[in-house]
Structure 1
Amino acid sequence: MQNPQKVYERQAVLNSSPLRLVVKLYDLVLQATYRKDRERIKEVLSTLIESLNFDHEPADELFELYRYCQDLARQEEFSEIREILEPLRDAWDTAANNEQADPQNANA
């Protein structure tokens, strides 16, 4: 029998918008900074890097920022990673909430 928590988590991911998935990734990397889990931080940041669309302007800057945070993880500078990523996470969350509040505008 499957773990109900795992089933719920899987469904939450499958039903999430792309913006909401980005917020979830930020949540994962921030949680990893509190656990001081360097490997998990680098793994999640790699996922964020792989998801960048370089056809859009902020992708280059985000790429550099994520790489810098990976370097900070190697140096165990976890609080600095949080200082950088928490405001970005909040911005993505605001965008996801705006998308949810106005779904017609999200498809435009």
Structure 2
Amino acid sequence: MQNPQKVYQRQAVKNASPMQLVVKLYDLVLQATYREDEERVKDILATLIESLNFDYEPADELFQLYKYCQDLARKKEYGEIREILEPLRDAWDQAANKEKGSRNGISA
């Protein structure tokens, strides 16, 4: 029998928009900082780096920021990583919610 939580999580990922997936990655990396899991932090940041589209302007800045956060993880500076990424996570979440609302015909 499948674990219901894993089934729910898998379905949530399948139904998520690209922006919602970015928010989920931010949530995972922030959770990893609280657990002080250096390898997980660096792996998730690598995934965020791989997902950057350099055809758009903020990609270069985000690339530098993610690389800096990977360096902070090596130094075990998890609080500073959270200070950097939490506001970005919130901004992505707002954008994802706005996008979701516009797809559903709801204006903010």
Distance 1:22 1:55 in 2: 17
The alignment covers a number of residue pairs equal to 105
Which letter maps to 1:99? E
Structure 2 counterpart of 1:30: 30
Which letter maps to 1:89? R
1:57-102 CA distance string (max 9 Å, x none): 0000000000000000000000000000000000000000100111
Structure 1 counterpart of 2:55: 55
Structure 2 counterpart of 1:92: 92
2:100 maps to 1:76: no
Runs of at least 4 residues of structure 1 off by over 4 A?
none
Distance 2:60 2:103 in 1: 28
Distance 1:10 1:100 in 2: 19
Q: TM-score, normalization: structure 1?
A: 0.94
State, as a whole percentage, how many aligned pairs show the same letter: 75
State the SS of the aligned residue for 1:52.
Answer: coil
Superposition RMSD in Å: 1.1
State the SS of the aligned residue for 1:102.
Answer: helix
Q: TM-score, normalization: structure 2?
A: 0.94
Distance 1:93 1:18 in 2: 11
1:20-40 CA distance string (max 9 Å, x none): 000000000000000000000
Distance 2:17 2:93 in 1: 11
Q: Which runs of 5+ in 1 are unaligned?
A: none
1:2 is displaced (CA, Å) by: 1.3
Distance 2:104 2:5 in 1: 32
